[in-house]
Amino acid sequence: MAKAKTAYVCSECGSEHNKWQGQCADCGVWNTLSEIVLGPAKPAPATGRRSGYAGAAAAPQVQSLSEVAQLVEARTSIGIGELDRVLGGGLVEGSVVLIGGDPGIGKSTLLLQMLGALGERISSLYVTGEESLAQVAARALRLGLSLAPLRALAETCVERIVEHAAAHKPRVLIIDSIQTIWTELLTAAPGSVSQVRESAAKLTRFAKESGISVFLVGHVTKEGGIAGPRVLEHMVDAVLYFEGESGSRFRVLRAFKNRFGAVNELGVFAMSDKGLREVPNPSAIFLSAHTGPTPGSAVMVTREGTRPLLVEVQALVDQSPLANPRRVALGLEQNRLAMLLAVLHRHGGAAVYDQDVFVNVVGGIRVQETAADLPILFAILSSFRDRALADKLVAFGEVGLSGEIRPVPNGEERLKEAATHGFLRAVVPRANAPKKGKIGEMEVIGVDRLSEALDAIM
Give binding residues for ATP as ranges: 101-108
**Among 72-80, 151-159, 271-279, 396-404, which window interacts with ligand TYD (CB under 6 A)?**
271-279
What DSSP designation does 130 have? S
Binding of ligand TYD by 106 (CB under 6 A)? yes
Q: State how far the alpha carbon of 331 is from the alpha carbons of 16, 116, 337, in Å.
A: 38, 32, 11
**How many residues comprise the chain?**
458
Query: Rounded CA gap, 297 and 388, in Å?
Result: 7
Which entry of ligand TYD, Mg ion, none binds 100, CB below 5 to 8 A by partner kind? none
What DSSP designation does 350 have? -
Binding of ligand TYD by 94 (CB under 6 A)? no
Q: Helices 450-457 and 334-348 meet at what angle, rounded to 10?
A: 80
Binding of ligand TYD by 247 (CB under 6 A)? no
Which single residue brings its beta carbon nearest to Mg ion? 108
Binding of ligand TYD by 221 (CB under 6 A)? no
As measured in angstroms, the least distance from the Cβ of 125 to ligand TYD is: 17
Which entry of ligand TYD, Mg ion, none binds 180, CB below 5 to 8 A by partner kind? none
Nearer to ligand TYD, 97 or 433 (CB): 97
Which sign, positive or negative, has the C-alpha torsion 362, 368, 371, 374?
positive
As measured in angstroms, the least distance from the Cβ of 364 to Mg ion is: 19
Binding of ligand TYD by 67 (CB under 6 A)? no
Binding of ligand TYD by 42 (CB under 6 A)? no
Amino acid identity, residue 250? F
Which entry of ligand TYD, Mg ion, none binds 105, CB below 5 to 8 A by partner kind? ligand TYD
Answer for which of 101, 308, 364, 429 binds ligand TYD (CB under 6 A) is 101
As measured in angstroms, the least distance from the Cβ of 124 to Mg ion is: 16
List, as residue ranges, the binding site. Answer: 101-108
As measured in angstroms, the least distance from the Cβ of 365 to ligand TYD is: 17
Identify the three-state secondary structure at position 399. strand
Helix (H) or strand (E) holding 392: none
- DSSP letters of 247-261? T-SEEEEEEEEETTS
**Among 80-88, 104-112, 150-158, 280-288, which window interacts with ligand TYD (CB under 6 A)?**
104-112
Binding of ligand TYD by 273 (CB under 6 A)? yes
Query: Rounded CA gap, 75 and 8, in Å?
Result: 40
Query: Rounded CA gap, 366 and 360, in Å?
Result: 9
Angle at 140 between CA 138 and CA 142, to 5 degrees: 70
- Contact (CB, 8 A) for 417 and 436: no
Answer for which of 39, 52, 60, 104 binds ligand TYD (CB under 6 A) is 104
Residue 272: which of 240, 250, 294 has the closest Cα? Answer: 250
Binding of ligand TYD by 201 (CB under 6 A)? no
Binding of ligand TYD by 179 (CB under 6 A)? no
- Contact (CB, 8 A) for 312 and 361: yes
Nearer to ligand TYD, 94 or 101 (CB): 101
- Contact (CB, 8 A) for 151 and 126: yes
Binding of ligand TYD by 297 (CB under 6 A)? no
As measured in angstroms, the least distance from the Cβ of 433 to Mg ion is: 47
- Contact (CB, 8 A) for 82 and 251: no
Binding of ligand TYD by 277 (CB under 6 A)? no
Q: Where do contacts with ligand TYD occur on this chain (CB under 6 A)?
A: 101, 103-109, 139, 142-143, 271, 273-275
